[in-house]
Amino acid sequence: MSANWPGERLLLRPITVRRATALGFVADTHRRLPEVQGAMWGVSVIDPDSNAVVGVALVGHPSRLQTSPTNEHLRVLRVAVRDGVPHACSMLYAACWRAGRAMGCVRMDTHTHLDEPGTSLVAAGWIDGGLTRGGEHDRKGRPRKQAVDAKPKHRWWAPGSRLPDGRVLTREGRAS
């Protein structure tokens, strides 16, 4: 990495969602959940000095029950960054929301485990939406393998997300 402020020289680039690229990076780098299902597109952070990928974010649809027929809701499914690359997570979350909005997305969310403070999300302007109920993805008539971690999680909303009831979340965490 450069001796300059680390985020100053990092580059954002699209990345292909394939086993050898984004999915492979996440499998090698993510500390908790190396497998990802349902990713549609990704954003990467590149160190320009080495031209190496140092971070990846993968975006897809939320579970079927939360997806509207208009496909206007997206979820950041996974963010994985190599150790020692400050600000890369915040860059990725912000870039995902910008790209999603450019494609017509009106709301985007993600989840963190209860022991994760969400520092990068706060830095990117995301809003803590409270806790999920947790639980399994398995449903009658739609069997799924057991969840790795079925506990409740923090839900975070991208700033300016339009909730299903029509309210818009502001950076101050209020809905208007």
Q: pLDDT tens across 46-73, in order?
A: 999 899 999 999 999 887 655 566 778 9
Structure tokens at 21: 């690229």
Give the pLDDT confidence score for residue 170 in this predicted structure.
Answer: 82
Please name the residue ranges forming H helices in the chain.
6-9, 22-29, 88-102, 119-123
Catalogue all structural domains in the chain, each as residue range(s) with its CATH number.
6-157 (3.40.630.30)
Kindly report the pTM of this predicted structure. 0.85
Give the pLDDT confidence score for residue 147 in this predicted structure.
Answer: 60
List the Cα angle 137/143/147 in 5-degree steps.
35
Would the pLDDT of 80 be above 60?
yes
Would the pLDDT of 101 be above 50?
yes
pLDDT tens-place string over residues 119-165: 999 999 999 999 988 766 566 776 666 566 778 899 999 999 998 88
Please name the residue ranges forming H helices in 6-165.
6-9, 22-29, 88-102, 119-123
